[in-house]
Chain A
Amino acid sequence: MMGRTIFIDPGRCIGCQACVSACRECDSHRGKSMIHLDYTDEGSSVASLPTVCMHCEDPVAPCAEVCPADAILVTADGVVQQADTTRCIGCANCVNACPFGVPKIDLQAKLQMKCNLCYDRTAYGLAPMCATVCPTGALYYGTLEELQAERPGVQVADTFVFGESEVRTGVAMVVPAERVQWPVPGGLPVVEINGKDVRR
Chain B
Amino acid sequence: MTEPPEPPAAAEQSAPGARTGTSGGPHGRPSEEEPSVVARAVRHLPRSVSGRATLAGAVVSGLLILAIVFGSRLLHDFDSALLPYAVATVFLAFGVAYRYTVWVSAPGARRLFGKGWSSLFSAENFRRTPTALPKMIATYLGLQKFLGARSHARWAAHQLIFWGCVLAALITFPLTWGWFTFTSGSGSGPGYEMRVWGIKILGFDSLNFVGWVMFHGLDIAAVLVIPGASYFLWRRMKDRGAITGQRFAYDMVPLLALIIISVTGLLLTFSSVFLHGGGYEFLAILHMVSVVFTLIYIPFGKFFHIVQRPAAVGMQLFKYTDRQDDEVFACRRCGEAIDTGPYVENLRGTMQDLELGFDAWAEYCPRCKRVLRGNAYLTQVKKGFK
- Residues of A whose CB lies within 8 Å of any CB of B are 2-5, 10-11, 27-30, 36, 38, 40-41, 45, 47-49, 51, 57-62, 64-70, 72-79, 81, 85-87, 89-93, 95-103, 106, 108-111, 116, 119-120, 122-125, 143, 160, 162-165, 167, 170, 173-176, 179, 184-190, 193-194, 198
Contact = CB atoms under 8 A, between A and B. Distances in A.
A49 B23 contact: no
Contacts of B27: 2-5, 77-79, 122, 170
A174 B370 CA distance: 17
A76 B375 contact: no
Contacts of A28: 240-241, 244-245
A101 B356 contact: no
Contacts of B365: 101
A145 to B, nearest CB: 11
A120 B240 CA distance: 8
Interface stretch (B63-71, B164-172, B331-339): B331-339
Contacts of A90: 146, 312
B37 A87 contact: no
Given A75-B10, A162-B357, A47 B243 contact: no
Interface stretch (B173-181, B259-267, B376-384): B376-384
B25 A123 contact: yes
Contacts of A125: 26
A91 B362 CA distance: 14
Contacts of B8: 75-77, 123
A76 B22 contact: yes
B185 interface: no
Nearest to B310: A89
Nearest to B350: A66
Contacts of A111: 146, 150
B19 to A, nearest CB: 5
Interface in B337-386: 338-339, 343-344, 347, 350-351, 354-358, 360-362, 364-378, 380-382, 384-386
Given A77-B24, A106-B149, A49 B374 contact: yes
Contact of A38 (B4, B241, B347, B374): B374
Contacts of A194: 333
B370 A97 contact: no
A36 B241 CA distance: 21
Contact of A77 (B26, B107, B108, B374): B26
B129 to A, nearest CB: 19
B17 interface: yes
Interface stretch (B78-86, B118-126, B187-195, B301-309): B301-309
Contacts of B112: 68, 91
Contact of B5 (A41, A70, A116, A124): A124
Contact of A163 (B358, B367, B370): B358
A62 B351 contact: yes
B157 interface: no
Interface stretch (B28-36, B201-209, B211-219, B273-281): B28-36
Nearest to A67: B108
A10 B354 CA distance: 31
Contacts of A109: 146-147, 149-150
Contacts of A119: 7, 244-245
Contacts of A174: 382
B196 interface: no
Contacts of A79: 25, 27
B298 interface: no
Contact of B7 (A67, A123, A167, A175): A123
A198 B331 CA distance: 14
Given A28-B241, A95-B366, A96-B366, 6 more contacts: A68-B106, A68-B111, A124-B4, A179-B382, A186-B376, A188-B358
B367 A38 contact: yes
A81 B11 CA distance: 11
B354 A65 contact: yes
B15 interface: yes
Given A41-B375, A184-B381, A70 B370 contact: no
A176 B377 CA distance: 11
A191 to B, nearest CB: 9
B18 interface: yes
User: Closest 4 interchain pairs by CB?
Assistant: A77-B25, A3-B28, A187-B372, A101-B366
B111 to A, nearest CB: 8
B305 A87 contact: yes
A97 B362 contact: yes
A96 B338 contact: yes
